[in-house]
Amino acid sequence: MPLPRLVSLFWLLIIVTSGCSWIRQPNQSDFGQPIPTPTLPDTISVVIDTTDLGQPITGIGVNINGAYWHDGTFAPALDTLYNELGARIFRVIVETSAWGDLTATTPPPIDYRMPPFDSVWAIMHYLEQKPATHVILSVMGEPPAWMDVSQASSEHTERWVETMNNLIAAGRQQGVSLQWFSPLNEIDYGPPEGPKLTPDRYAEVMEQLAVQLQANGYGEIGLIGPETAFSSATDAYLRALKNKPTVTQMLKAVAMHDYAGQLSDIRPDLISWPVSAPEIWVTEFSQWCTACNEEPTRSNEWSFGADSAEFLIRYLRQGVHAALLYDGVDGFYTHHGTFDYWGALAYDPTSGEFQVRPRFAAIAQIARFVTPGVVQIGVSADAALPLVAFRDPATGTIHIIGRNATTRPLTLTLSNMPAAIEVTLNQTTSSLIPTSTTVTASEIPVAADAIFAVTFTASDE
C-alpha cells in the first residue's frame, strides 16, 4: 500500500474547485434529506444573556481509524485535524477483527505489539502529546465468537472482560496514558457495528468490566458508553446502568450517535445519577451519506458539510459537552468490509494522497471557536435561524455561532452586549475561503449560505 502524504492544507481549500479524477460526481440522492431552507427576515435582532449559563464545552473532535499510522506518515493528517479543523477529541478505533477470526470459538494468541495494535498505540501516543486533547480508545465491531458478550454465559463475559483489561494493560505498556475507554459500539443496533445487547445485559457486562478495571489498578480511566446508534435508545441503557455502583462511578461520558440532526433529551435521566453526572457526548455525527460507504464524493459537498455543521449547532444548543465528526480521514473498516469515504480529509489509497473536503471547512468554522472551557450562554433570535452562543470565562470573549442557509445575505443586530474592544465576523461559504472582518454590533452582514462566528472581544472596563 502506498504510504499517505498530505498534499493540501486547510488554507488551500481552493483545490476542491478543480478536477480530481479519483473523486466521482454523485447525485443529491447520495446524501441525506437536505435541511429545508428557512424563511428569514433581512434583519434579525440577536439578544445575548450572559447570566443564562449552560454546559461547559469539553471539545469538538473526530473519529480516527486506528490502523493508518504507517510509520508516522499519518501524522500530518492528524496535525491538520488538530491545527486547522480545531479537533480536540479523537476517538481512535480498534476493530474487533484485530483479535482474529470472528467465528473462532477459542481465544488465539494475541501480541499487542503487532499490527493493528502497534498503529493504534502510535496514533494515540502522538495525539496525547498535543495540548488540551482527549484521546479515546474505542472498540468497534462484532466480537469474535469466543468472547461474544451477546451470549449470556459467564464464560463469554469473563473472556471479554479479561480481553478488554489486557488491551488496557498493553496500551499502558506501550506508553499510552489511555485515560478514556469505550469498549462497546452501537449495542442497540448490533452486528456488524457491535454486539446487540439489551440494556440489562449491557449494564451487567459493563459492571463486571468496571470491577475488574478497578481491581487491576485502572479505576481512574473514564469509561464512555453506551455508544447507541440511535439516541432514542440511550435512556433505557442509562436506567439499567444506574443500578450498577462501580460503572456509574467510572462512566464519565454518556455517548450516542446521530446522523439525523436531532437528539433525544437524556438530561432528565442524569438528574438522579447516583454520583456526579457524566457529560453528554455525541461520539459520531454527520449528515447522512449513502455514497460514503461506496465511492468518494464531491458534488453537493458544501450542502452536505453545512448540514453537518448545522447538526453540530443543534447538539450544542441541546446541551452536549462534546461532539465528534464521523469521520476524520477516509479508510478501510474491516467490520463492514468497505472503504469509508466519510472523512473530513479524503484519502486516495492508490496515490496515498490526502485532500481537504468542504465538510472540513464547515466544521472548522465552528470548532475553531467552540473550544474547551467555553460555556454556553443564552441567545435569542428568530427561531428559524440556527444559533448558539458561548462565553470564555477566562477572557470574557463571546462567540455567536450560526448558519445562514438562505440564498441571500442577512444583517444581524446585537443587543444586551457588554462593552467591547472589537467585534469580528468570521464566516465560510461555498467558496470555501474563510474570511474575517471587523464589524459593529449594530450591523453584522452575514453572507448567503454561510456558517459564521461573531466574536465579541470584551473590554476590561
Q: Residue 142 in contact with residue 191, Cβ under 8 Å?
A: yes
User: Quick one: what percent of the chain has pLDDT higher than 90?
Assistant: 79
Residues 81 and 47 in one domain: no
| pLDDT (mean) for 319-325 | 98
Residue 262 within a domain: yes
Boundary of a domain, candidates 327, 350, 367: 367
Q: Taking a C-beta distance cutoff of 8 angstroms, is the pair 39, 68 a contact?
A: no
Asked if 404 and 446 touch (Cβ cutoff 8 Å), the reply is yes
Among 367, 389, 410, the domain-final residue is 367
Evaluate whether residue 37 is within a structural domain.
no
CB distance 282 to 263 below 8 Å: yes
pTM of the model: 0.92
pLDDT-derived band of residue 2, with 50, 70 and 90 as boundaries? very low
Can you give the pLDDT at residue 34? 82
- Examine residue 3 and state whether it is found in any structural domain, yes or no: no
Question: Residue 362 and residue 434: Cα distance in Å, rounded?
Answer: 10
Interhelix angle 301-318/358-367, rounded to 10 degrees, is 30
Cα–Cα distances in Å, from 440 out to 16, 153, 403, 422, 437? 33, 66, 19, 8, 10
- Stretch 103-107: mean pLDDT: 94
Cβ contacts of residue 435 below 8 Å, gap of 6+?
Answer: 425, 426, 427, 428
Q: pLDDT (tens digit, 9 = 90+) per residue, 161-171?
A: 999 999 999 99
pLDDT at 166: 98
Instruction: Note whether 360 and 286 are same-domain residues.
Output: yes
Query: Is 122 inside any structural domain?
Result: yes
User: Of 308, 283, 195, nearest to 231 (Cα)?
Assistant: 283
Q: What is the pLDDT of residue 408?
A: 96
328 — pLDDT class (breaks 50, 70, 90): very high
In a domain, residue 150? The reply is yes
Give residue-wise pLDDT tens across range 138-187: 999 999 999 999 998 999 999 999 999 999 999 999 999 999 999 999 99
> What CATH number did the domain enclosing 47 receive?
2.60.40.1180
Three-state DSSP state, 391: strand
> For residue 305, what are the contacts with CB-CB under 8 A and spacing of at least 6?
287, 357, 358, 359, 360, 361, 362, 363
Q: Are residues 126 and 180 in the same domain?
A: yes
Strand pairing report for 345-348 and 338-340: unpaired
Full DSSP string of 218-234: -TTSEEEEEEESSGGGH
Q: What is the structure's pLDDT at 296?
A: 67
Same domain, residue pair 339 and 447: no
The answer to whether 326 and 255 have CB atoms below 8 angstroms apart is: no
β 59-65/375-380 pair status: unpaired
Q: What is the predicted pLDDT for the residue at 83?
A: 98
Reply yes or no on whether the pLDDT at 20 is more than 50: no
Please check whether residues 419 and 298 belong to one and the same domain: no
**Last residue in a domain, options 367, 402, 429:** 367
pLDDT at 31: 58
The verdict on 311 and 228 lying in the same domain is yes
- Same domain (yes/no): 71, 156: yes
Residue 64, pLDDT score = 98
Q: How confident is the prediction for the chain on average, in pLDDT?
A: 90
Same domain, 226 and 206: yes
**In 129-282, which ranges are continuous DSSP H helix?**
154-173, 199-215, 234-241, 245-250, 267-271
Residue 20 lies in a domain: no
- At residue 415, the pLDDT reads 87
Q: How many domains does the chain have?
A: 2
pLDDT confidence of residue 297 = 60
Place of cell 464545552: 57
Residues 319 and 401 in one domain: no
335 located within any domain: yes
CATH code: domain of residue 311? 3.20.20.80
pLDDT band (50, 70, 90) for residue 336:
confident
Does residue 36 form part of some domain? no
Q: How confident is the model at residue 21 (pLDDT cuts 50, 70, 90)?
A: very low
Count of Cβ atoms closer than 10 Å to residue 356 Cβ: 27
Q: What is the average pLDDT across 83-90? A: 98
Are 317 and 423 within one domain? no
Is residue 225 over pLDDT 80? yes
Both 100 and 239 in one domain: the answer is yes
**pLDDT tens for residues 254-290?**
999 999 999 998 888 898 898 999 999 999 999 998 8
Min mean pLDDT across 30-44, 65-79, 214-228, 396-410 is at 30-44
Domain that holds residue 339: 57-367
Whether residues 362 and 386 share a domain: the answer is no
